[in-house]
Chains A and B, each alone.
Chain A
Amino acid sequence: MTLASLTSPDGYFEDFEPGQVIRHARGKTVEALENVLITNLVMNTAQGHFNEHAMQASRFGRRITFGGVTASLVIGLAAQDTAEQALAELGLDKIRFAAPVFHGDTLYAYTEVLDKAESERIDAGIVRFRHWGVNQDDKIVFEGERATLIKRRQPWADR
């Protein structure tokens, strides 16, 4: 078993072209399993994410999903295609939550390759992506940029 055989044959630095847009293969329905579990796991104390009774009296009428969960799921849905060969996540920027996400909503992810740059390492380069998350009605719920240090084929595809 080689290292490279554990991951996809693509997704290396050379495989990304600025302007390329990817529709990722899978969606995920957000339930309490994701929202309440992760909200509580990371000790986000805002009960709007986990007190259904209190939220019935709000303008939303029900619990809303923590933005950190929405962001993590959308980036997760994009991860096999944009992070599987990542050596490190460098940063995020321009993160926006355009609409609330409720339990039962299904999220899908899209990614545009913004640009590519050399890094301090000869075996990897920096790729900047823009990600979008949309719900089952095609409404944008998440948008943001992400910079990632991604392996070059040489030497990584042969290891």
Chain B
Amino acid sequence: MTKRKFGLGLSLVLAAGTILGACGSKDEETTTPKDSEGTGSEGTTEAVDFSLAMVTDVGGVDDKSFNQSAWEGIEAFGKENGLEKGDGGYDYLQSTSDADYITNINNLVRRDFDVVYGIGFLMEEPIKTIAAQQKDAQLAIIDSIVDAPNVASVMFKEQEGSFLAGVAAALMSESKQIGFVGGMEIPVIERFEAGFLEGVKAVDPSIKVDVQYTGKFDDAALGKTTANRMYSSGVDIIFHAAGGTGNGVFAEAKERKTKDANANVWVIGVDSDQYEEGAVGDTNVTLTSMLKKVGTAVQNIAKDAMAGNFPGGTTVTYGLAEEGVGLADSRGAIPQDVLDQIDEFTKKIADGEIVVPETVE
């Protein structure tokens, strides 16, 4: 009996397949013209004749952090200039493993985007390789330097922004215990750590900072347990520089806040303004966020390229002075007097009076 039913099911599936197949081909007919229009290398659009695309690292485009802010920058640029998502406009490809970077970058280059961005230091080698092979392509890399005439490199002085985050944390901490949750122990993240520790020290050298590296950028569960341990040990403010793993830090803080509205737990976000991440009902656990304006950097390169001045072969470094890093609006979480002190430090760093080290001493 059951066999017969299965047989019936089988034939239904087969039948459905053929019908769906038919639908599919109809679909294709309608989409094809649009498509071919798009693939025309210099598509004639009513908007600007410029296109750009990016490749994410394994974190994905919705990592609420690094990749996302890059994509938001691209989206904003595209809208501003009347571009559409897709060929001839703006687009992104997501990577699922290290081996995918080259393919993804290559695919975008082949689709004739004017500028292709590799987001993150992991793209260094792939960008280098493609730059050598596709000499006409205009490539850009964030967080790493690739020495090639057709690659624009963007670096950030994460340590400067993190210094301010450290100042804010040190001044706001009641327990005088602060936490730092890092992703992988790589130079970029170490700059975050170094700046942050320096900032704390500048305010109060006696404050203990618990530094933990999770080794991963995409493990929210791990971030949550790490945060749990920190908060339980008396830490009241955690600064995370761990991409998706950091989402777990927010989750833990919000959980504690939900259970006890008076709980003194704060998170300092990273890369983009993570205020939304910290919302618990009417309150919020986000103290502030260390902004790394990847979006701005991406847009700046795009603007230059559109104007015919693609900054190939150069490295632009964004620090406090260039307003490439900084703290996000705290929405009242940080009182004015503290903000004033932060502003003072900002000035000193921008003026070069304080030089924040890149590595932990």
Asked if chains A and B come from one complex, the reply is no
Binding site for A on B (CB under 8 A): none
Residues of A within 8 A of B (CB): none
